[in-house]
Amino acid sequence: MMGVSILRRIGQAIDRSYLNKVGAAPIPGSDLGLLLVCYHSYEGKQTIELSDHTVIRPGQTVGELHFSNIRITEIAAQSERSLEWQLMEMLKQEMGTLAKACAAGLIPETVEAFYGTNVLAAGARRLGFTLIPIPKGWNRWWIGFWESVLRLVYYSFKTSKKTSLKRTMDPYEVWMSRAQLLQRLAKRRPEA
């Protein structure tokens, strides 16, 4: 376990440095601080179409979502429940908070969609994200390897199924348009 502890400290230092570099901050109004968001122009080489037919073109403003891995470690240490199920429940809550922040004007109006890179495809699909596979090559391998390291270091120490680096998981870009996010919030709101 000492090796994982050292890896966790190294991972936290890399994580903090990267999140500071991109300017990621908790979603406005979040009580959990699980998801972080930063804003930038979409730098993809191709136009993409999301499941609700929203088209994202290079240069459009997007919100990039990141997990707070430090927060995930804190959550896992405070509970005996399965971390996987806790994260799904909390992500639903965080997406609701993100939708409320959009509706309240706390997210720049120019943000057309939100995306992240993730290996947790099944959970992302359940939350309503459009999944776009990352093409084979160095970038895909690196992201899959890094995500697997993060799962090993941050998530698997409190789970029954341990992560292994023998086989990395396939990473995806997960996307949701601002309109779809707001529509999902409207469906979940009770009628007044």
**What does the alpha-carbon distance between residue 84 and residue 95 come to, in Å, rounded to a whole number?**
16
**What does the alpha-carbon distance between residue 119 and residue 170 come to, in Å, rounded to a whole number?**
6
Strand order in the sheet with 25-26: 25-26, 35-41, 61-67, 113-118, 172-177, 130-133
Domain count, the chain: 1
Predicted confidence (pLDDT) per residue in 137-182, tens digit: 887 777 777 777 666 666 555 555 555 555 556 778 899 999 999 9
Q: Are 170 and 136 in contact (CB under 8 A)?
A: no
State the pTM of this model: 0.81
**What does the alpha-carbon distance between residue 69 and residue 124 come to, in Å, rounded to a whole number?**
17
**What does the alpha-carbon distance between residue 58 and residue 62 come to, in Å, rounded to a whole number?**
10
Predicted confidence (pLDDT) per residue in 53-100, tens digit: 999 999 999 999 998 878 887 877 776 766 677 788 888 999 999 999
* Structural domain of 73: 2-188
How many Cα atoms occupy the beta-carbon half-sphere of 95 within 13 Å? 29
